[in-house]
Amino acid sequence: MPDYPVPAIDDVELVEVMRALADPIRLHIVRVLADGEPHGKTMEDWGVDVTKSTMSHHFRTLREAGLTRTIIDGRTHAIQLRRDELDVRFPGLIAAVTQA
């Protein structure tokens, strides 16, 4: 079973969060995840025209920056924004970047 470690929220740095959000596709992913619910990693769920390997790269970048976590349920993998933790660490940031 793959391991998807995330940094402790106290170790998440604003510069790394902003670097991850600078990419339009990753920003789109975070906007989709802003509802706080886990979302499947299937390509059809995201509405972007990139390869599966490119999406995997974007998911990994967001996770390593501390923005998301991967939830494993059997063979199903979902991604979820660490919204509550991020709102405490960086108040207002997620609300600001998810507004259209």
pLDDT above 80 for 44: no
Look-up of token digits 């906007």: 31
Strand partners, 76: 73
Q: Which amino acid is at 51?
A: T
Stated as kind and residue range, the H or E segment containing 79 is: strand 76-81
Specify the higher pLDDT residue, 42 or 37. Answer: 37
Q: Return the percentage of the chain with pLDDT > 90, whole number.
A: 76
Sign for the CA dihedral angle at 94, 53, 48, 78 comes to negative
pLDDT above 90 for 65: yes
Predicted confidence at residue 100, as pLDDT, reads 62
Q: Cα torsion for 59, 61, 66, 71, to the nearest 10°? A: 20
Q: Where are the domains of the chain?
A: 9-98
| Residue range 5-36, pLDDT digits in tens | 999 999 999 999 999 999 999 999 999 999 98
First-to-final CA distance of the chain: 37
Q: Cα torsion for 48, 50, 55, 61, to the nearest 10°? A: -90
Q: Kindly indicate the confidence band of residue 49, based on its pLDDT and cuts at 50, 70 and 90.
A: confident
CATH code for the structural domain at 9-98: 1.10.10.10
pLDDT above 90 for 52: no
The arithmetic mean of pLDDT across residues 51-76, rounded, is: 93
Query: Quick one: tokens of 34?
Result: 């802003």
